[in-house]
Amino acid sequence: MLQQWIILLVSFGYLGLLFAVAYYGDKRADAGRSIISNPYIYTFSIAVYCTGWTFYGSVGRAASTGVGFLPIYLGPTLAATVWWIVLRKIIRLSKINNITSIADFIASRYGKSSVIGGLVTVISIVGIMPYIALQLKAISSSFNVLFHHNMKNIGQPGAGHDTALYVALVLAVFSILFGTRHIDVTERHEGMVAAIAFESMVKLLAFSAVGIFVTFTMFDGPADLFRRAASAPETEHLMTMTSLPGGYASWIALTFISMTAILFLPRQFQILVVENVNEKHVRTASWLFPLYLLAINLFVLPIAFAGLMFFHAGTVEADMLVLSLPLIAGEEALALFVFIGGLSAATGMVIVETIALSTMLCNDLLMPVLLRLKLLRRADVGRTLLFMRRGGILLILLLGYLYFRLIGESYALVTIGLVSFAAAAQFAPAILLGIYWKGASRRGALAGLAGGFAIWAYTLLLPSFARSGWIPMSFVEPGPFGIFELGPYHLFNLAGFDPITHSVFWSMLFNIGLLVGVSLFGRQEALDQLQAAMFVDVYKKRVADTSNAPLWHGKTRVSDLKELVTRMIGPERAEAAFRSYALRHSLELRDGSLADESLIAFAERELAGTVGAASARVMVSSIIEGEALSIEGLMKVLDETSQVIEYSHRLEQKSRELEAATSELKRTNERLKELDRMKDEFVSTVSHELRTPLTSIRAFSEILQDDADMDPQQRQQLLRIVVKETERLTRLVNQVLDFTKIDSGSYQWVHEKLDLRNVLQEASAATSQLSLNKNILITRDAPQGPVLVCGDKDRLVQVMINLLSNAIKYGSPDTGKVHIKLSSAGEEAMIAVIDNGIGVEPGERERIFERYHQLGDLSKSKPQGTGLGLAICKTIIENHNGRIWVEDNQWNGASFVFTLPLLADKDKCSQPPGQDKEQIEK
Amino acid sequence: MTEPKNRDVQPYDEEVQQPGPKRKGERLFSLLIVGTLLLNFPLLSIFSSKRLVCGFPVLFLYIFLIWGLIIGTIVFVLRNRPVSTSGPAEPRKDEDH
Residues of A in contact with B35 (CB under 8 A): 77-78, 81
DSSP secondary structure letter of residue A484: G
In this predicted structure, what is the pLDDT of residue B95? 38
Probe site for chain A from B5, B12, B54, B69 (most A CB atoms < 10 A): B12
Average pLDDT, chain A: 80
Selection from A133, A50, A129, A109 nearest residue A427 by Cα: A109
Q: pLDDT grade, residue A544 (50/70/90)?
A: very low
Residues of B in contact with A577 (CB under 8 A): 4
The phi and psi torsions of A842 (rounded to 5 degrees) equal -55, -35
Which residue does chain A place closest to B2, by CA atoms? A32
Beta bridge partners of A835: A818
Q: Which of A74, A222, A239 sits opposite B50 (nearest CB)?
A: A239
Q: pLDDT grade, residue A533 (50/70/90)?
A: confident
What is the arithmetic mean of pLDDT over A238-254?
81
Say if CB A203 and CB A57 are below 8 A apart. Answer: no
DSSP character string of A57-75: IHHHHHHHHGGGGTHHHHH
Quote the crossing angle between the two packed helices A712-744 and A640-706, to the nearest 10°.
160
What is the arithmetic mean of pLDDT over A107-129?
88
Report the C-alpha gap between A447 and A526 in whole angstroms: 19
Query: Is the model more confident about A861 or about B87?
Result: A861
DSSP character string of A178-241: HHS-SSS--S--HHHHHHHHHHHHHHHHHHHHHHHIIIIIISSHHHHHHHHHHHSTTTGGGGSG
Beta bridge partners of A899: A830, A883
Q: pLDDT grade, residue A289 (50/70/90)?
A: very high
Judged by CB atoms closer than 8 Å, whether chains meet at B40 and A252 is answered as yes
Selection from A203, A232, A231 nearest residue A299 by Cα: A203
The phi and psi torsions of A901 (rounded to 5 degrees) equal -65, 135
Which residue does chain B place closest to A187, by CA atoms? B3
pLDDT in tens, A601-617: 788 777 777 777 777 77
In this predicted structure, what is the pLDDT of residue A366? 84
Q: Which of A30, A224, A544 sits opposite B1 (nearest CB)?
A: A30
Beta carbons within 8 Å of A269's beta carbon, 6+ residues apart: A101, A102, A105, A263, A356
Report the C-alpha gap between A508 and A216 in whole angstroms: 45
Using alpha carbons, list the distances in angstroms from residue A144 to A61, A150, A162, A173, A852: 20, 11, 11, 22, 119
In this predicted structure, what is the pLDDT of residue A625? 61
Tell me the one-letter amino acid at A159.
Answer: A
Average pLDDT, chain B: 69
Using alpha carbons, list the distances in angstroms from residue A159 to A6, A318, A405: 19, 17, 12
pLDDT in tens, A169-221: 888 888 888 777 664 545 577 888 888 899 999 999 999 999 999 888 888 88
In this predicted structure, what is the pLDDT of residue A645? 59
Lowest model confidence (mean pLDDT) among A426-430, A628-632, A712-716: A628-632
SS3 letters for A115-128? HHHHHHHHHHHHHH
Report the C-alpha gap between B3 and A186 in whole angstroms: 10
Judged by CB atoms closer than 8 Å, whether chains meet at B13 and A67 is answered as no
Q: Report the gap between the CA of B40 and the closest CA in chain A (Å).
A: 7
In this predicted structure, what is the pLDDT of residue A553? 57
Query: Is the model more confident about A208 or about A34?
Result: A208
Q: What pTM, to 2 d.p., does this model score?
A: 0.66
Residues of A in contact with B40 (CB under 8 A): 248, 251-252, 255
What is the arithmetic mean of pLDDT over A900-909?
76
pLDDT in tens, A329-376: 888 888 888 888 888 888 888 888 888 888 888 888 888 787 777 666
Judged by CB atoms closer than 8 Å, whether chains meet at A255 and B45 is answered as no
In this predicted structure, what is the pLDDT of residue B1? 36
Judged by CB atoms closer than 8 Å, whether chains meet at B6 and A96 is answered as no
What is the arithmetic mean of pLDDT over A480-492?
76
In this predicted structure, what is the pLDDT of residue A838? 80
Report the C-alpha gap between B26 and B16 in whole angstroms: 13
Report the C-alpha gap between A59 and A204 in whole angstroms: 14
pLDDT above 70 coverage of chain B, percent: 60
Using alpha carbons, list the distances in angstroms from residue B43 to A237, A240, B64: 19, 13, 14
Spans of all domains in chain B: 21-79
Q: Which of A29, A95, A294 sits opposite B68 (nearest CB)?
A: A294
In this predicted structure, what is the pLDDT of residue A241? 76
Q: pLDDT grade, residue A817 (50/70/90)?
A: confident
Q: Report the gap between the CA of A86 and the closest CA in chain B (Å).
A: 10
Beta bridge partners of B3: none
Whether residue A783 is preceded by a cis peptide bond, meaning omega within 30 degrees of 0, is no
